[in-house]
Structure 1
């Protein structure tokens, strides 16, 4: 794998995202930019780019298309999450619902998802479309499962792991899997990258959940 300048790649992704959220409707564009400018590590698109160097066709344009689309999907889930959870803050800033209203938040989430789907039309590999569409369905199921389970005090480890798989691990797993696909990697390598992404995503969410109990709002930057 060739050496990759992570900061440079993040800047590229940021620029693509800024272009993609442009809209004829100023409210949708401003609300989307409000979320985009509130920060974020861009972990998912970065994993796409890193994984796109694993095969023969390294770091091609399709990887950037997928990376940007995946981050837009993630952003859409954050907006809808905040509505479902009645959240006032996201990364220390007012949520879109708090700054505007609930309809604007819901429509902004829909707008970001639509932009992702539109941008993915540039991708010719049908496998990527199949994997992404299946993942979006699983994310929706995961959100509903989490909502229905939120007041259940007795939780099994199986249910917890299933929930965090759909909540966090799925999109990171998707990033490493699809990134490898864009590089024309062989199927065995793609499956290995998928498993790596899954394990990273599960570990990340478990640590995040532990920190919710052991750290402070000031340190975490979230309530």
Structure 2
């Protein structure tokens, strides 16, 4: 619940996840939260780096939290943080989960409520933790996130054999071989209807999402993708 007074704005018990933290001064952190009712917000966790801080061990990603905060201006003060468990991530999926967080930090505007996306995010984290083929829920999250941002995929039908994403639009191409990345009509249909299969369809969807996200990031690189590429070279 939010309360507005003459001096400050206060929110209590807001469901949230930590997306990223930044050091602030000697003992504090600025924490980027993704909240259910207020979207992405930055909060100052004062004294969070002190050994006896009330926030010690709480401000970690992928843990459902309830946060309370107050203050003026865009960056307000975290006043309370309650822990509601954790979503265990093994090494195989951890980088994918950090990738999702980076997408939210880079593309989701601050202060825009997205309760439906919050639910999708929470559900995706749980699926990453338990599903053997975790890449498919990752593709669905990318699709749904782009839709929230106003970049929805075409709804179909997809009569052509192949499509290409060119300068912000989909272009049909019935040739079986063509330059650049492409996606089959059947894969686009599967991606739209939640029937994506592992293997070729997932790979085509992954390449498409990579092109789409790179386009909307204006070719700015993602740190998680760079780190993953470096790890794959070891």
Q: TM-score range by the shorter chain?
A: 0.3 to 0.5
TM-score, normalization by structure 2: 0.31
Richer in strand (by share): 2
Greater helix share, structure number:
1
Structure with larger Rg: 2
Q: TM-score, normalised by structure 1?
A: 0.32
